């Protein structure tokens, strides 16, 4: 599919320091069994009062230093691991919330190549294990608010998408970033169904993509991402509805035109390009004023007020100065 042969692989790029020089050994540990060191990385679970991953899931640690970026760490209690990995939207594996955990075992996450191309000075195709080392891993504890009216609090591990964009050097003509995710019928039972137009694609304006809170995400709860949560690489854009946070990315392309996005193609009146969390703008079929925290609030009760920009307004509202957020939903 991506055959731009001239693209250098990241580890061979001359002008950059070698990945091993960028990331301290202590910050990233690959395929490390749950040893004393990894356990230390998970110590905050006890502290935060959230249920830790089950030992059987804990084979691959991926830890990051607590982020110091403004707004990156909410003090709310993280959602239990069982809920965060068992109540998912990942339509490639089915439409029921329990389907992704049940069906995603067929997803092969190694080897995995990501192409970064389009309007950039230095396009590249990079192996996931080299991409992992492009910048130091950080832990960010973000609220994720689904457009359907529920939310979770998840400790993600990754680094700002801006670090990758800086690396490939966007051209002056670049205005948007398009994200394409894997669509392989052999690994994903619902790809090919007429539910959605595959592959699942998403997009951001370049200034949104460069905002430090936009996270290129490799892990959660001190481990590599579980398959059902978008392994081996996903986006997490905490001030937008969850569907913007595309899972299992294979390509990141810079463009001049606003990219088409999957949910917008499926129902343009219901899912806009911006999709900023906004309690004042209802979905055509339901209110967005409140939400239900998975694992804490009752099954049908929506108990919490949804916040503008999902609570990240102080950090991101300036991106939309002068825009009509009702028209640009």
Ligand X SMILES: Nc1nc2c(c(=O)[nH]1)N[C@H]1C(S)=C(S)[C@@H](COP(=O)(O)O)O[C@H]1N2
Binding positions for Mo ion, rule: CB under 5 A: 89, 146, 242-243
CB of 40 to ligand X, least distance (A): 25
Could you check whether the bond before residue 232 is cis, i.e. omega within 30 degrees of 0?
yes
Instruction: Examine residue 174 and say whether the peptide bond preceding it is cis (omega within 30 degrees of 0).
Output: no
* Residue 89: closest CA among 262, 253, 290: 262
* Straight-line distance from the first to the last Cα atom of the chain, in angstroms, rounded to the nearest whole number: 32
Q: Least distance in Å: CB of 90 to ligand X? A: 5
Of 19 and 242, nearer to ligand X (C-beta) is 242
92 binds, among ligand X, Mo ion, none (CB under 5 to 8 A by kind): ligand X
Instruction: Report the nearest approach of Mo ion to the CB of residue 238 (Å).
Output: 13
The footprint of ligand X on this chain (CB under 6 A) covers a number of residues equal to 18
Residue 258 DSSP label: P
Site string for ligand X, 149-188 (x = CB under 6 A): ---x----------------------------x-------
Selection from 126, 196, 188 nearest residue 163 by Cα = 126
User: DSSP E strands: which ranges in the chain?
Assistant: 65-66, 113-118, 124-127, 138-145, 150-160, 176-181, 201-205, 215-220, 223-224, 234-236, 249-255, 290-293, 304-305
* Tokens 């195709």 sit on residue: 125
Q: How far apart are CA 235 and CA 217, in angstroms?
A: 6
Does residue number 88 form part of the binding site for ligand X (CB under 6 A)? yes
Q: Is 102 annotated as a binding residue?
A: no
The alpha carbons of the chain give a radius of gyration, in whole angstroms, of 19
Rounded distance between C-alpha atoms, residue 319 and residue 235, angstroms: 19
146 or 249, CB closer to Mo ion? 146
| Member of 60, 160, 187, 245 binding ligand X (CB under 6 A) | 245
Query: Is 229 labeled as ligand-binding?
Result: yes
State the sign of the Cα–Cα–Cα–Cα dihedral 30, 32, 34, 36.
negative
Considering only residues 199 through 218, tell me which ones interact with ligand X, judged by CB under 6 A. Answer: 200
3-state secondary structure at position 209: helix
Residue 276 is classified by DSSP as B
CB of 171 to ligand X, least distance (A): 27
Q: Is 94 in the site for ligand X (CB under 6 A)?
A: no
Residue 5 C-beta-side C-alpha neighbours within 13 Å = 0
CB of 112 to ligand X, least distance (A): 14
Smallest gap, in angstroms, from Cβ of residue 197 to ligand X?
12
The binding track of 121-150 with respect to ligand X, each residue x by CB under 6 A or -, is -----------------------x-x----
Q: Does residue 92 bind ligand X (CB under 6 A)?
A: yes
From 90, 179, 190, 271, residue interacting with ligand X (rule: CB under 6 A):
90
Distances (CA, A) of 85 to 266, 296, 300: 26, 15, 20
Is 276 among the annotated ligand-binding positions? Answer: no
Between residues 200 and 243, which has the closer beta carbon with respect to Mo ion? 243
Asked if 60 touches ligand X (CB under 6 A), the answer is no
- Chain residues in the site for ligand X (CB under 6 A): 88-92, 144, 146, 152, 181, 200, 229-230, 242-243, 245-248
């Amino acid at each position: 599919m991506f055959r731009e042969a001239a693209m250098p692989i990241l580890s061979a790029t001359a002008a950059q320091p070698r990945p091993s020089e960028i990331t301290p050994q202590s910050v990233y540990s690959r395929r490390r069994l749950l040893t004393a060191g990894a356990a230390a990385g998970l110590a905050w679970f006890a502290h935060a009062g959230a249920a830790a991953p089950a030992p059987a899931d804990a084979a691959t640690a991926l830890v990051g230093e607590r982020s110091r970026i403004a707004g990156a760490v909410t003090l709310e209690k993280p959602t239990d691991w069982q809920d965060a990995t068992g109540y998912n939207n990942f339509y490639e594996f089915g439409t029921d919330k329990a389907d992704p955990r049940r069906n995603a075992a067929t997803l092969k996450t190694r080897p995995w190549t990501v192409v970064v191309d389009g309007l950039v000075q230095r396009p590249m195709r990079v192996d996931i294990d080299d991409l992992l080392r492009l910048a130091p891993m950080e832990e960010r504890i973000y609220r994720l608010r689904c457009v359907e009216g529920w939310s979770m609090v998840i400790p993600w591990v990754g680094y700002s998408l801006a670090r990758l964009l800086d690396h490939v050097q966007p051209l002056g003509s670049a205005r948007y970033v398009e994200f394409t995710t894997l669509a392989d019928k052999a690994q994903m039972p619902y790809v090919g169904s007429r539910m959605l137009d595959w592959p699942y694609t998403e997009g951001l304006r370049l200034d949104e993509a460069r905002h430090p809170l936009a996270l290129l995400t490799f892990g959660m709860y001190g481990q590599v991402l579980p398959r059902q949560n978008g392994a081996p690489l996903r986006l997490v854009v905490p001030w937008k509805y969850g569907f913007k946070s595309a899972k299992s990315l294979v390509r990141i392309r810079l463009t001049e035109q606003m990219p088409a996005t999957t949910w917008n193609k499926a129902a343009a009146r219901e899912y806009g390009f911006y999709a900023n969390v906004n309690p004042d703008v209802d979905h055509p079929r339901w209110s967005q004023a409140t939400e239900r925290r998975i694992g804490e609030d009752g099954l049908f009760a929506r108990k919490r007020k949804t916040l503008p920009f999902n609570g990240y307004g102080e950090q991101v509202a300036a991106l939309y100065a002068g825009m009509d957020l009702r028209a640009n939903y």
